[in-house]
Amino acid sequence: MTRSGLLEDRVVMVTGASSGIGAAAARLFAAEGAAVVLTARRAELLDALAKDIAGAGGRATAVPGDVTRAGDVAQVVAAAVDTYGRLDGAFNNAGWATAGTPIHETDDAVFDQAVDVNLRGVWNCLKQQIPVMLESGAGGAIVNTSSVAGVMATGATAPYIAAKHAVIGLTRAAAEEYGRHGIRVNSLVVGSTLTEMMEGVLGGTPSLETAFTSRSVQKRMAQPVEVAQAAAWLLSDRASFVTGVPMPVDGGWTTV
C-alpha cells in the first residue's frame, strides 16, 4: 500500500522559520509532503534552510520578512499563491520573549515588542492568510503558537504572558468566525522548548532553568521537532474535527 505524507500536496506558510520550532516545522512539513513557504527576518538562515529542504527532495520558498509589518506578511502570502497556486495551511510561530523583570521595572519598549511580535504578528498573518483561503473555496488550517504563558503566569515577563493569552483568544475568535467556511484555527500551548530564544532567556536569567524544567511532569524541555509534530497533526486532515483548541504541548506542565 502506498503511503502519502501527513501534509502531502499542501502549501503551508511557516513564520519564525529561521530557527527553533519554526525551522524544525519547516523540515518536518516538507518531509511530510508539503510545499513550505518560509519567512523570518534573518534572510541568510532562511535561505540556507530552504536550500537544505530542497536538497533533501522537498519544496521550499524563502521570503524574508517581519511579521510585525503587514506589508511583509502580504508579500509572503502572495509568494505562496504565485509560486504554488494557493495556501492551504499556516503555522504562525514567530515569537519573542523576555523573563525575570517585574512589571514596574519593565520598559515600555519591551511591552511594545512583545505585543507586536507575539500578538500583532499573528493578527497580521490571519488578516492576509484567511482571505486567500476563503477565495479558494477549499478552506484551510491555521495553527498559532501560544505558550503555557498563555494560560497561566510563568517566569516570563508580563507583556509576553498577556500577549500569549491574547493569541488564544484571537485563535478562538477566528475559529468561530471561519469554521463555516472550512477554515480550522487552533493554537499550541507550548511548554519550555530548547530553542535559540530559550537560550537567550536563560542566558539573561540562568536561575529560570530549574523552574522551567521542574514544572513539567516529564522534568525536561521539549525538542523543537516535538512541537512541530503537534502542529503538523493539527494542520492535517487527521485533525479535521478539531478547531478553536489551545492544545497543550508542554510535557504535562498545565496538568497539575
Beta-bridged to residue 14, according to DSSP, are 38, 91
* Other C-beta atoms lying within 10 Å of the C-beta of residue 63: 22
- CA dihedral for 216, 222, 226, 230, sign (positive or negative): positive
Catalytic choice (160, 178, 212, 253): 160
- The single-letter code of the amino acid at 171 is T
Known catalytic residue at 160: yes
Q: What is the grid cell recorded at 202?
A: 536563560
Nearest to 5 by CA among 27, 33, 24, 28: 33
- The secondary structure of residue 105, as a DSSP letter, is G
DSSP string over 54-99: HHTT-EEEE----TTSHHHHHHHHHHHHHHHS---EEEE------B
Instruction: State how beta strands 246-249 and 89-92 pair.
Output: unpaired
- CA dihedral for 184, 190, 195, 200, sign (positive or negative): positive
- Phi/psi class of residue 173: alpha, beta or left (left: φ > 0; alpha: ψ in -120 to 50)? alpha
Nearest to 235 by CA among 67, 56, 26, 39: 26
Nearest to 159 by CA among 167, 210, 198: 167
Q: Which residues form the catalytic set?
A: 160
